[in-house]
Structure 1
Amino acid sequence: MYDYDLLVVGSANADLVIGVERRPAAGETVLGSDLAVHSGGKGANQAVAAARLGARTALLARVGDDAHGRLLLDAQRAAGVDPAGVLVGGAPTGVALITVDPSGDNSIVVSPGANGRLTPGDVRAAAALVGSARVVSAQLEVPLETVVETVRHLAAGSRFVLNPSPPRPLPSQLLEACDPLIVNEHEAKVILGGADAGTDPEDWARALLARGPRSVVVTLGGEGALVASAEGVARVPSVKVDAVDTTGAGDAFTAALAWRLGAGASLKDAAAYAARVGAAAVTKRGAQESYPTAAEVDALSCAAPEGGPGAPGRDGEGTSGDPARGGSR
């Protein structure tokens, strides 16, 4: 019996967001909107997204003993996330500087702050928490060695989901634990080490599977997503929506996918559900405040035709209607 449907091990940031008419070029200054401060970070986003959908969710992260840290903790509690694993102190809370243009595209710069102080020792101290989750999800906005330590404490029969963002080469012991590894085009190429896997996403997926993951999900923007495992490769269509802001939608996709897998869904069905969750998220501004409830996802799936924009992202740059393209804050 698991205490949690999902434990997220990862980052928690304060998102400092400014709207711009266009993103500045090198050396250029542009005027923007008033500054808005939101709760964010890939780990905290995923925890809130899963809890909104009804998952019993906990977060293992580190924040600073400051106003931003208190904001993040309050947001987790308000969403129904158990923040017992959130450690406080060691450095200022991480901050993400985000610009959003009128089409909903965003550009992001992250100062990791306390996220960089989440250590393997912290994971060992929280081993009981890690072992109490049906699914454990992680990203790479905390130290890689901390994520590697996490997989050493998984409960027998639990599942590990990794979105390697920001991407970097991964050790084999981490790749072999992934079920699935969730990547966009850019992340896939980084993990493959620049190897020429062609231009076909199915080739990328097969090349990644050969590195050790039990399953792989490749997100493809308006073309939907692709899922791959030993059972074969399948396409998942996108969901057509009018995008307002892509910020955080990739995290909504990952959280929904992880939760549905833990509930027993097939990889393809879980990815299709996650695409609807990501699409719903881009119809509202912000990250965590945009995440839908299960009822809102059901309403979208009844109203929105499949096959248009609105699937998770392909290249990390963000385009209108592609909820996870660059929107992974």
Structure 2
Amino acid sequence: MILCVGLATVDLVYRVDRIPGADEKAQATAFEVAAGGPAANAAVTAAALGAPVTLVTAIGSHPLGALIRSDLRNHGVRVIDAAVASGAPPPVSSIVVAGHERTIISRNAGELEFSVPPEGLPDAGLTLVDGHHPALAVAAARAAHRLVVDAGTWRPVFADILPYAEVVACSAAFRHPTGVVEAPHVVVTHGPAPVTWTSGGVTRSVPVPPVDAVETSGAGDAFHGALAYFLAGGATMEETLAEAIRVAGVRVRHPGARDWLDRL
């Protein structure tokens, strides 16, 4: 089983012909509602690939939370809600997409703190954390048999998490305060450019095949979900990175929050 720990949001996705300017109204050509967030999207990807997946996150009892639960349930992800007693709205993102451009307005987890549920965290062969909900992330990192860290951008909690990591997957924008990320495997994605992978003091470049990208939202999350899936299945790092790149390539070739999963 793969355990994902981190952010789940309500994503409201509007598709328009062009990003509107200030004080300008735009008519959406399409509209979607889906669960979002790095950990949630990674969980959906791993589940679509065939893994049993549990997501530990903070949703709460607000009616909007039902949208998150429904989408995750429909895509085979079991949810453990650390905020079940909270009536506050869950994190929400409004995403305006026009071709390769997008504008995102988010109200994420903020400063709210949620503790590990009374039943504790389930045992998992591999755990992925995204650094949101710090108390949950630290508890999951300490309990993990194998830990993958989605390090999109620096968060202070990473100082407590990274020492437990087997794989740290960074975006090109990630900056560690010391300038050095220490882990057995450090992976850095650069969009359509080659992925770099450092292990044992040696850095390799992994090519990214060119694709006709129509939507890049969630590509990194898909990469991380595939990374977790193939590592948990016993693949080597070389094999895992090749498959994660392939999965991210499938994601960017298809518009929509979830339709691309049918192409895996």
Q: TM-score scaled to structure 1, two decimals?
A: 0.72
Matched, 1:181 2:150: no
Contact conserved, 2:54 with 2:79, CA < 8 A, in 1?
Answer: yes
| Matching residue of 2:224 | 254
Matched, 1:136 2:123: no
Shift of 1:286: 2.6
Take 2:245 and 2:69, find their aligned partners in 1: how far apart are those partners? 27
Take 1:280 and 1:257, find their aligned partners in 2: how far apart are those partners? 14
| Matching residue of 1:31 | 26
| Matching residue of 2:99 | 102
Secondary structure at the counterpart of residue 244 of structure 1 = coil
CA pair 166-99 structure 1, distance change in 2 beyond 3 A: farther
**Deviation string for 1:208-233 (max 9, x for gaps)?**
2xxx3221100012222111111622
Shift of 1:167: 2.8
Shift of 1:241: 2.1
Secondary structure at the counterpart of residue 231 of structure 2 = helix
Root-mean-square deviation (CA, aligned residues, Å) is 2.4
In the alignment of these two chains, the number of paired residues is 262
Take 1:101 and 1:250, find their aligned partners in 2: how far apart are those partners? 19
Contact conserved, 1:62 with 1:117, CA < 8 A, in 2?
Answer: no
* Higher-strand-fraction structure: 2
Take 2:158 and 2:37, find their aligned partners in 1: how far apart are those partners? 24
Take 2:153 and 2:94, find their aligned partners in 1: how far apart are those partners? 15
Q: Which residue identity is paired with 2:77?
A: V
Give ranges in structure 2 of 5+ residues lacking alignment: none
Contact conserved, 2:60 with 2:89, CA < 8 A, in 1?
Answer: yes
Identical columns (%)? 29
**Deviation string for 1:124-157 (max 9, x for gaps)?**
x35341xx111110113x2334312221222xxx
| Matching residue of 1:47 | 43
Matched, 1:61 2:44: no
Q: Which residue identity is paired with 1:292?
A: L
Take 1:284 and 1:178, find their aligned partners in 2: how far apart are those partners? 32
Q: TM-score scaled to structure 2, two decimals?
A: 0.88
Q: Which residue identity is paired with 1:252?
A: A
Take 2:41 and 2:113, find their aligned partners in 1: how far apart are those partners? 17
Contact conserved, 1:38 with 1:286, CA < 8 A, in 2?
Answer: no
Shift of 1:256: 0.4
**Deviation string for 1:22-59 (max 9, x for gaps)?**
4356x563524154322222221111110000011111
Poorly superposed stretches of 4+, deviation over 4 Å: 84-87, 115-118
| Matching residue of 1:286 | 256
Take 1:171 and 1:11, find their aligned partners in 2: how far apart are those partners? 15
